[in-house]
């Protein structure tokens, strides 16, 4: 109902009376008044006049469908959206909707996550309403072994969008950290539900630090935000709309032509290639120079003895990035 009232306020030039809202939406005047108060609490500036009704003066930078959908330039990604003021994790909420059979392209956003999930079982935290936290439900007809490519696709989409909003040096630390001026600005978590030979659905979630002014001591040296790097508040809803547009374009080519069709752009955005790296995999750890990324997205590391190892997943530190000296 709140979404519908916001739409009416947006579509009416000037004032719209409480009576008109109550008539169009078939709710009581008292209910309209209560909804208006709750909409104001979300950050909408609304002028109320006992004679004329309500007039919308300003919309907040929140990631609700009312604010994001009008900015979308996509066919199916984000055309259905679900927004939470506070939720445990948007990846978990998206997974629940996927299990109930929602369509491909559903986007779940939140102002705050109370149990945000990071890679390798870590936690992902961000202050309320200063970052973008979202997850997308995907149902691609690909093999489970190709699913990790989605992480690279989202990484490229975020990187393209961030470049549009800043002049800073944005790049991707393999496989999926977005780096701005050598510090992490975004993390991506891809989760899959499937069987040995078939993907049921994939959830890809991203957390982007946009308007956080500072980070706590332990991550201060490795994390950054758009605000810290540009000195300006950036519109979260516009960045999200831009990411979703880039993501849909890249995801469509990924489904039609595979990761190899975009690997050259991925490599050109990489802050890992050509640098000394430390790899911590689930079985061992080693160091070497990152010399290539294969057409299926694996990182090729040349060891000191000249042998090459392909990395499928793991924790990779890159010299000169994110505090690794
Ligand atoms: C990482 O770098 O460790 C990945 C972090 C991924 C965080 C995002 S925020 C939105 C989505 N929901 C989650 O619970 N996690 C991802």
DSSP 117: B
The pLDDT of residue 216: 85
Whether 277 and 317 have beta carbons less than 8 Å apart is answered as: yes
Q: Are 15 and 52 in contact (CB under 8 A)?
A: yes
Is residue 145 within 8 A of residue 186, CB to CB? The reply is no
Q: Going by C-beta distance under 8 Å and a sequence separation of 6 or more, which residues neighbour residue 284?
A: none
- Is 264 in a helix, a strand, or coil? helix
Of the residues 207, 321, 322, which should be mutated to test ligand 1's pocket, given the most ligand atoms within 8 Å of the CB? 207
Low-confidence ranges of the chain (pLDDT < 70): 322-325
Residue whose tokens read 């984000």:
78
Ligand 1 centre to CA of 111 (Å) is 13
Q: Are 322 and 275 in contact (CB under 8 A)?
A: no
Q: Which residue has the tokens 């259905």?
A: 80
- What spacing in Å lies between the alpha carbon of 173 and ligand 1's midpoint? 15
Query: What is the pLDDT, as a whole number, of residue 157?
Result: 98
Å from CA of 143 to ligand 1 middle: 23
Taken in order 63, 69, 72, 78, the sign of the CA dihedral is positive
pTM to 2 decimals?
Answer: 0.93
Token digits of residue 9: 């306020």
Sheet of 183-195, strand order: 81-84, 107-110, 131-138, 198-209, 183-195, 177-180, 170-173
Centroid of ligand 1 to alpha carbon of 125 (angstroms): 9
The verdict on the CB of residue 189 being under 6 Å from ligand 1 is: yes
- Tell me if 318 sits within 8 A of 275, measured CB to CB: yes
Please answer whether residues 177 and 184 qualify as being in contact, where contact means their C-beta atoms are separated by less than 8 angstroms: yes
Q: What number of residues does the chain have?
A: 325
Q: Quick one: how far is CA 81 from the chain centroid?
A: 13
Instruction: Give the per-residue pLDDT at 323.
Output: 64
Q: Is 90 in the pocket of ligand 1 (CB under 6 A)?
A: yes
Q: Residue 314 gets which letter from DSSP?
A: S
Q: What pLDDT score was predicted for residue 325?
A: 55
Nearest residue CA, atom 16 of ligand 1? Answer: 205
Average predicted confidence (pLDDT) for the chain: 94
Whether 89 lines ligand 1, by a CB cut-off of 6 Å, is yes
State how far the Cα of 36 lies from the Cα of 48, in Å rounded to an integer.
Answer: 9
Residue holding tokens 């809202």? 21
Q: What is the pLDDT of residue 220?
A: 86
**CB within 8 A of 24, min separation 6: which ones?**
8
pLDDT of residue 130: 94
Q: What is the pLDDT of residue 75?
A: 98
Distance between CA 64 and CA 78 in Å, rounded? 11
- State if residue 207 touches ligand 1 by the CB under 6 angstroms criterion: yes
Predicted confidence at residue 106, as pLDDT, reads 98
């Amino acid at each position: 109902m709140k979404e519908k009232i916001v739409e009416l306020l947006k579509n009416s030039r000037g004032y719209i009376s409480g009576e008109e809202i109550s008539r169009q939406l078939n709710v009581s005047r008292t209910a309209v008044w209560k909804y208006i108060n709750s909409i104001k609490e979300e950050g909408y500036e609304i002028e109320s006049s006992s004679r004329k009704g309500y007039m919308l003066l300003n919309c907040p930078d929140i990631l609700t469908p009312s604010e994001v959908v009008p900015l979308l330039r996509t066919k199916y990604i984000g055309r259905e959206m679900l927004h939470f003021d506070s939720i445990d994790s948007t990846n978990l909420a998206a997974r629940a909707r996927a299990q109930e059979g929602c369509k491909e392209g559903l986007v779940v956003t939140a102002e705050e996550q109370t149990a945000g999930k990071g890679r390798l079982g870590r936690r992902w935290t961000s202050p309320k309403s200063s970052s973008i936290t979202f997850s997308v439900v995907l149902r691609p007809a690909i093999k489970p072994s190709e699913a990790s490519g989605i992480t690279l696709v989202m990484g490229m989409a975020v990187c393209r969008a961030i470049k549009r909003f800043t002049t800073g040096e944005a790049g991707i630390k393999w496989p999926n950290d977005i780096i701005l001026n050598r510090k992490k600005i975004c993390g991506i978590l891809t989760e899959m539900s499937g069987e040995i030979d078939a993907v049921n659905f994939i959830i890809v979630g991203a957390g982007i630090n946009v308007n956080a002014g500072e980070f706590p001591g332990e991550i201060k040296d490795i994390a950054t935000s758009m605000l810290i790097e540009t000195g300006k508040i950036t519109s979260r809803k516009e960045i999200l709309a831009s990411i979703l547009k880039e993501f849909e374009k890249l995801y469509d080519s990924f489904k039609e032509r595979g990761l190899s069709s975009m690997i050259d752009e991925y490599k050109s955005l990489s802050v890992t290639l050509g640098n000394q790296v430390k790899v911590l995999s689930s079985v061992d750890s080693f160091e070497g120079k990152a010399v290539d990324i294969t057409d299926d997205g694996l990182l090729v590391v040349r060891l000191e003895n000249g042998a090459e190892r392909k990395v499928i997943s793991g924790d990779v530190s890159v010299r000169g990035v994110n505090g690794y000296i």
